Structure 1
Amino acid sequence: MTTSQVQGPAIQVQGLEKSYKELQVLRGVDFEVARGSIFALLGSNGAGKTTAVKILSTLLKADAGTARVDGFDVATQASNVRESISLTGQFAAVDEILTGRENLVLVARLRHLKNPGKIADDLLERFSLTEAGARKAATYSGGMRRRLDIAMSLIGNPPIIFLDEPTTGLDPQARIEVWQTVKELAEHGTTVLLTTQYLDEAEQLADRIAILHEGRIIVNGTLAELKQLLPPAKVEYVEKQPTLEDVFLTLVGADSKNGKDSKDGKRGDQAATTAASASTSDK
């Protein structure tokens, strides 16, 4: 690996475009991810998050633009990119018939690594799964299963990991467990690109947040920078900073919601007028 690859950004994306026939999913996406950081790609369903991850992980070819992962071009150096990354999809890809330890040993053997048993034991300890290691994965809770899935992704020590909506379908406690796991990944130097539609998830985890809307990045910055896009609200003389949800809805657009509220308000005014007229008539 060259010095430039080590020192440069973990991920560089410029002008990325992708269409499915008439549907434009990505319309010129640009962003960079610093090494050892957690970068959240935030957006609604259908915003293009998973498509972007598939392109960066060499599972899909872009129509235009360039992308480099760990210094390698995803189009011309796909094999190098695959050696540098791990991808965890929206649903845990564990074998429920096998135990947690057997799942890890299997992946280590498939990667032709030495001492697969020790690798499995180390990961079970790292992810607080040692006591459950001898149990079948089918008996694991949602959070445990997801932690095992992420542990399997780390076999071979990839410097970059893609987590595509890792807490989809999990209960609140399981989500917190996964959040802690993701934070620990970054603490160990792993670069994490996280896609999510959960605003609190991005707020809790990310060093930088990019909002993807209708195929474009409409804002990219730290949580503090995004909050500065809206003025603080004042309630009872106490300054209230806008939340990430306020920023997201303002930038993406809450027209339909506001439109509904406006209509409801008009209906309420009309109802009040009707009631007042009826009262006058009674008199």
Structure 2
Amino acid sequence: MKRELGVIGYPVKHSLSPAMHRLWLEKYGLDCEYHLLEIHPKDLADKVQGFREKKWRGFNVTIPHKVAIFSLLDEIDDTAKRFGAVNTVINHDGYLKGTNTDGGGFLQSLSHAGFAFHPAVKALIIGAGGAARAVGLALAETDSAQIDFANRTLEKAEELSAKVRETKASNVLTLERAEAELADYDLIINATSVGMEPYPDPQPLSLYHVSPAAFCVDLIYKPLQTTWLKEAEKKGCQTLNGLSMLIYQGALAFEQWFGIFPEVKGMEDFLINVLNQKESN
């Protein structure tokens, strides 16, 4: 029997997951189809029930369903509970288990790019939403010294910082203070949507004081190089966009479904071509 996979969200037409997973399914000769499934929030409960059918191997979850889906699943693993979001569901004969591969995907993307953690690393995360939470809690498990948050709304950032302080030092900064103290940080991550197309020009934080030794990450991958990353390169910083995280979180989800960690070499170039084709259509 042909098995089914998919990604659910609203909207979801922009997702690169179908192209990525279809390539892996073909590579490993798996008799499985991957679908793009746009599901309105009001229909989520009914649709999730349908995923219990034997033909469904599992599915990915994106905005706005990552939290709402908690109450609709049979089991949430410790990783998803800790991150407060589900991005991958596995169907075990009608028993739906939720997990989260975002944090692990982020750490693997950093490692692949050559960033090495050590006890003196100080990280700054810009933002306090779901992406900031995934990145912050993942970093809290690494061999690093401090993970700070900068955000316009300090209350939201304080919630994340308090969670991180269970294992690491963590402070909350205004954007102005973060800009002034930027030279103190080894790893700086934009976890906001500032700079994303179709409004790619604004920057989440001034890099005037950044150290050229800093590693700057923007979780945005459309555009592939935001104005902020271009500025970081001008300052001499090593940079990384969000496409690598997308690939590694997808690979970890694929491993959950099939027990195979797929080949990631060449996937970035493949997805860049997909993005270019979408823009030309």
Which protein has the bigger strand share? Answer: 1
TM-score (norm 1): 0.32
TM-score (norm 2): 0.32
Mark the structure with the bigger radius of gyration.
1
